[in-house]
Amino acid sequence: SAKKNESGLFISAQNASCTVQIYSENIFRINIEKGQTASENFSYAVIQTPLKIKFNITEKKDKIEISTGSLKLIISKFPLRFSFYSLCLKSPSKKNNEILLNEDDAFGTSWIGTEVTTYKKLQEGEKFVGLGEKNGNLNRRGEKYTHWNTDQFAYPINHDPLYCSTPFYIGIHNHSSYGIFLDNTHKTEFDFGSSNERFSSFSAANGSMDYYFVHHPSIADIIKSYTWLTGRMELPPSWSLGFQQCRYSYYPESEVLNIAKTFREKDIPCDGIYLDIHYMDEYKVFTWHPSRFPHPEKLITALKKMGFNLIVIIDPGVKREAGYDVYEEGKKQNHFVKFPNGDEYVGQVWPGWSCFPDFTSAKTRKWWGQKIKLLTDAGVEGFWNDMNEPTALGKHLPDLIEFLFEGERANHKKAKNIYGMQMARATFEGAKMGLNKRPFSLTRAGFSGVQRYSAVWTGDNVSSDEHMLAGVRLLNSMGLAGISFCGYDVGGFAGEASPELFARWITIGAFSPLFRCHSMINTRDAEPWSFGEEVEDIARNYIKLRYRLFPYIYSSFYESTQNGVPIQKSLVVDFFDDEKIFHPDFQNQYLFGKNILVAPLESRQEIAKIYLPGEKSSEGNGGWYDFFTDAFYKSGQEIYSAAKKEKLPVFVKSGSIIPMQSCVPDLKKKPLDVLFLHLYLGSDGDFEYYEDDGSTFQYQQENYYKRKITFSQKGKKILFEIPRGKYRSCFKTIKLLLHGFEKTPEVFLVNGQRERAKPESFKFFEPVHHFDYFPKQSEDPMVLENIPALEIENFSEKFEILWK
Binding site for ligand MIG (CB under 6 A): 248, 276-277, 313, 386-387, 444, 459-460, 493, 518
Whether 377 is a known active-site residue: answer: no
38 CB burial (10 A radius; 0-12, 13-18, 19+): middle
Give the integer Cα–Cα distance in Å for 95 and 93.
6
Tell me how far, at minimum, the Cβ of 167 lies from ligand MIG, in Å. 23
Q: Which residues pair with 383 in a beta bridge?
A: 312, 441
Work out whether the CA dihedral 257, 453, 417, 347 comes out positive or negative. positive
Q: Which amino acid, 662? A: S
Tell me how far, at minimum, the Cβ of 152 lies from ligand MIG, in Å. 10
Cβ nearer to ligand MIG, comparing 277 with 378: 277
Q: Which amino acid, 358? A: D
Contact predicate 351/287, CB 8 Å:
no
Q: Which ranges in 172-274 belong to alpha helices (H)?
A: 219-230, 253-265
Cβ nearer to ligand MIG, comparing 31 with 427: 427
Tell me how far, at minimum, the Cβ of 419 lies from ligand MIG, in Å. 16
Closest residue (Cβ) to ligand MIG? 248
Give the integer Cα–Cα distance in Å for 65 and 59.
6
**Residue 451 has what DSSP assignment?**
G
Contact predicate 180/213, CB 8 Å:
yes
Contact predicate 238/278, CB 8 Å:
no
Tell me how far, at minimum, the Cβ of 261 lies from ligand MIG, in Å. 23
Cβ nearer to ligand MIG, comparing 230 with 519: 519
User: Which candidate in 389, 527, 574, 691 is catalytic?
Assistant: 389
Work out whether the CA dihedral 327, 330, 332, 337 comes out positive or negative. negative
Contact predicate 397/389, CB 8 Å:
no
Whether 574 is a known active-site residue: answer: no
Cβ nearer to ligand MIG, comparing 204 with 313: 313
Contact predicate 141/192, CB 8 Å:
yes
Across 631-716, where does the E strand assignment appear? 632-634, 637-642, 650-653, 657-660, 674-680, 685-691, 705-712
Give the integer Cα–Cα distance in Å for 226 and 214.
7
Cβ nearer to ligand MIG, comparing 313 with 455: 313
Tell me how far, at minimum, the Cβ of 134 lies from ligand MIG, in Å. 18
Give the integer Cα–Cα distance in Å for 731 and 673.
4
Whether 386 is a known active-site residue: answer: yes
Instruction: Kindly report the number of other CB atoms within 10 A of residue 584's CB atom.
Output: 9
Cβ nearer to ligand MIG, comparing 72 with 319: 319
Q: Could you tell me the CA-to-CA distances from 509 to 6, 244, 487 in Å, in that order?
A: 48, 11, 8
Cβ nearer to ligand MIG, comparing 19 with 240: 240
User: Which candidate in 460, 527, 534, 626 is catalytic?
Assistant: 460
Torsion-angle region of 387 (φ positive above 0: left; ψ -120 to 50: alpha; else: beta): left
* DSSP letters for 360-404: TSHHHHHHHHHHHHHHHHHT--EEEE-STTT-BTTBPPPTT-EE-
Across 183-281, where does the E strand assignment appear? 188-191, 199-204, 209-214, 243-245, 272-275
* DSSP letters for 10-61: EEE-SSEEEEEEEEETTEEEEEEEESS-------SS----------EEEE-S
Tell me how far, at minimum, the Cβ of 519 lies from ligand MIG, in Å. 8
Work out whether the CA dihedral 334, 335, 341, 347 comes out positive or negative. negative
How many residues does the structure list for the chain?
A: 804
Give the integer Cα–Cα distance in Å for 573 and 613.
12
Cβ nearer to ligand MIG, comparing 17 with 244: 244
Cβ nearer to ligand MIG, comparing 221 with 386: 386
Q: Could you tell me the CA-to-CA distances from 566 to 235, 416, 488, 569, 639 in Å, in that order?
A: 14, 26, 16, 5, 26
Contact predicate 551/213, CB 8 Å:
no
Of 197, 203, 202, nearest in space to 122 by CA: 197
What is the H or E stretch that residue 146 is in?
strand 144-147
Contact predicate 188/182, CB 8 Å:
yes
Cβ nearer to ligand MIG, comparing 120 with 444: 444
SS3 state of residue 613: coil
Tell me how far, at minimum, the Cβ of 352 lies from ligand MIG, in Å. 14
Catalytic residues: 386, 389, 460
